[in-house]
Amino acid sequence: MKKLHLLRYATVAIALLLCALPAFATEPIQPVLAELTSPNAPQFSQNEPPVLVPVDDVVAVEAEAAAPIADLFLLEELHQTSGAGGELVLPDIDLPVSDIPLALNSKVEYFLYYFQTKGKQSFSQWLSRSSRYIPMMKEILKREGMPEDLVYVAMIESGFHLHARSWANAVGPWQFISETGRRYSLRIDQWIDERKDPVKATTAAALYMKELYGMFKGDWYLAAAGYNAGENKILRAINMYNTSNFWELSQGSYLKRETKEYVPKLLAAAIIAKDPARYGFSDVAYLPPIEFDTVSIPSRTNLDLAAKSCGATFETIKELNPDLRHWCTPPNYPDYQLKIPKGTKQRFEAEFAKIPENQRFTEKILYTRYKAGKRDSLKSVARRFDTTPAALAELNSLSAKSRLAGKSLIVPARQTVDFSHEGRTPRTARAAASKGNYSKYYTVKKGDTLGALAKRFNVTPKLLTAWNNLKTTVALKPGRRIIIAKFTEKNGEMVPATSTS
């Protein structure tokens, strides 16, 4: 009898494994959010051109992973890991009311269990952020004639992270790759990335879904699968298996496992999100809905000035305008629609009008890394980069007697950013990007601690210590500029570095 039970479990395990094997397809698919990694940023010797470093231009890059392709496990194991000991719940016979067709089968049940167990923490965070964006997204979907419950596509794509970036450089809450984003009129260049704008990206997603829905003759499951894998992949699968039934297509080996799981994951997410308390999500801390006013401002407007004009902080303005990549609005964009806190439009217009036009933009200082040679001294390096030995020593926490040979020094780059071409990388930034890496800086303020800064900028204390050669806590003194992020080029995009070099 014991051998019979063992044989039964072995058979089930093998069957599950075979069903989960991905097809060996070579074309790219729309990915789920994954943690970003990058190779070590290289150093440059005195004979190589410097790598330029934008200062005070902190871009938040979210690293929290969305639901991965689910691990294989038995339902009994899920029950054993239910957390608080509560019972796992399945829907009643009558599924929640929805404007997309909901279904309940073993694949959907799998993810209903998954989100109540191993994926519960991530799903709780998705729910927490959902209340911030779902009302606005539903309004846009309705305006475009699309089902409002398509918002749950954004939930499983990014968990409503505006800055989400996948391993294949799909970006934003709807995870557009650049090619698809531009196809639906999203602007993506050195200055702006509208894939991160929840309003514009949702509009683009609605248009894409509308096209997919028509292409697949009114089948939302195929439309969703097409959103994940690409419409051509699904069309080829339909021709290959001579069926347009998603569940039948998912039985074959042509579609990748991620696509096979995409629709059941979407349905499970929608079912739970419509009645979260029933499934054990009764203590979610929901964020307030995003609300804002919109004002038209000139190109190259400093966001610090915009923030002060409406009584907000720079961080608040950046949060409301996640599409902006830098400290100002894009050049040659005379009527940029800036989002500001709701109820501050009148104050903004009055205060901003008082600022002279020639004071609405502040040039940012650029820095570079320089590897000192054997004969270098503070005086010679300072002369080379048009600064003073004292300023150079302060910038790098050096004393007058410090030996420089082999040290990687932070030095000012006395060059002017060229804003003459819209959507093109400034000359200094192009030099940085061409060499594959750059860093972002922060000026230490009174009361700052290593732990607090690490948490604020989503890095580890170990990385901050290594990047800035912080041998003692005394080194973290007010006024000092420290590296708080390093970026390196990967597949044509700048992504955060995670090494200490």
- Domain assignment present for residue 263? The answer is yes
**Whether residues 434 and 319 fall in one domain:** no
- Domain assignment present for residue 262? The answer is yes
Residue 419 maps to which CATH number? Answer: 3.10.350.10
Among 359, 388, 411, give the residue marking a domain's end.
359
Q: What is the predicted pLDDT for the residue at 413? A: 59
**Whether residues 88 and 201 fall in one domain:** yes
**Whether residues 307 and 392 fall in one domain:** no
- Domain assignment present for residue 38? The answer is no
**Whether residues 18 and 139 fall in one domain:** yes
DSSP secondary structure, 258-311, as one string = HHHHHHHHHHHHHHHHTSGGGGT--S--PPPPP-EEEEEE-TT-BHHHHHHHTT
CA angle, 157 then 119 then 59, to 5°:
45
- Domain assignment present for residue 202? The answer is yes
**Whether residues 124 and 243 fall in one domain:** yes
Lowest mean pLDDT, pick from 134-143, 186-195, 333-342, 415-424: 415-424
Quick: pLDDT tens for 124-138: 999 999 999 999 999
**Whether residues 392 and 320 fall in one domain:** no
**Whether residues 428 and 318 fall in one domain:** no
Q: What is the predicted pLDDT for the residue at 460? A: 84
Lowest mean pLDDT, pick from 65-79, 139-153, 289-303: 65-79
Lowest mean pLDDT, pick from 59-68, 149-158, 208-217, 370-379: 59-68
Quick: pLDDT tens for 352-373: 999 988 788 766 656 677 888 8
Residue 385 φ/ψ, nearest 5 degrees? -110, 20
- Domain assignment present for residue 58? The answer is no
* Token code pair at residue 416: 């002017």
- State the total domains in the chain: 3
Domain extent, residue 487, equals: 366-496
The mean pLDDT value of the chain amounts to 78
Instruction: State how far the Cα of 211 lies from the Cα of 221, in Å rounded to an integer.
Output: 14
**Whether residues 229 and 299 fall in one domain:** no
pLDDT grade, residue 119 (50/70/90)?
very high
**Whether residues 134 and 165 fall in one domain:** yes
**Whether residues 128 and 17 fall in one domain:** yes
Residue 250 maps to which CATH number? Answer: 1.10.530.10
Share of the chain above pLDDT 70, in %: 71
Quick: pLDDT tens for 451-494: 888 877 777 888 888 888 876 655 677 777 788 877 665 554 44
What are the Cα distances from residue 174, in Å, to 30, 102, 200, 215, 318?
10, 21, 10, 20, 19
Q: Which long-range contacts (CB under 8 A, 24 or more apart) does 264-268 make?
A: 264/105, 264/107, 264/108, 264/110, 264/111, 265/67, 265/70, 265/111, 265/156, 266/152, 266/153, 266/156, 266/224, 267/102, 267/103, 267/108, 267/111, 268/108, 268/109, 268/110, 268/111, 268/112, 268/114, 268/115
CA-closest candidate to residue 259, choices 230, 228, 238, 237: 228
First to last CA, the chain: 59
The arrangement of strands across the sheet holding 408-412 comes to: 51-54, 366-371, 408-412
pLDDT grade, residue 86 (50/70/90)?
low
pTM, two decimals, is: 0.62
Q: Where are the beta strands (DSSP E) in 375-416?
A: 408-412
Q: What is the mean pLDDT of residues 236-261?
A: 97
**Whether residues 203 and 337 fall in one domain:** no
* Token code pair at residue 146: 């699309």
**Whether residues 406 and 460 fall in one domain:** yes
* Token code pair at residue 489: 């080029």
- Domain assignment present for residue 465? The answer is yes
Among 279, 309, 344, give the residue marking a domain's end.
279
Quick: pLDDT tens for 179-225: 999 999 999 987 899 999 999 999 999 999 999 999 999 999 999 99
- Domain assignment present for residue 41? The answer is no
Among 340, 359, 378, give the residue marking a domain's end.
359
Check residues 139 and 479 and name the one with the higher pLDDT: 139
Instruction: State how far the Cα of 157 lies from the Cα of 164, in Å rounded to an integer.
Output: 9
- Domain assignment present for residue 1? The answer is no
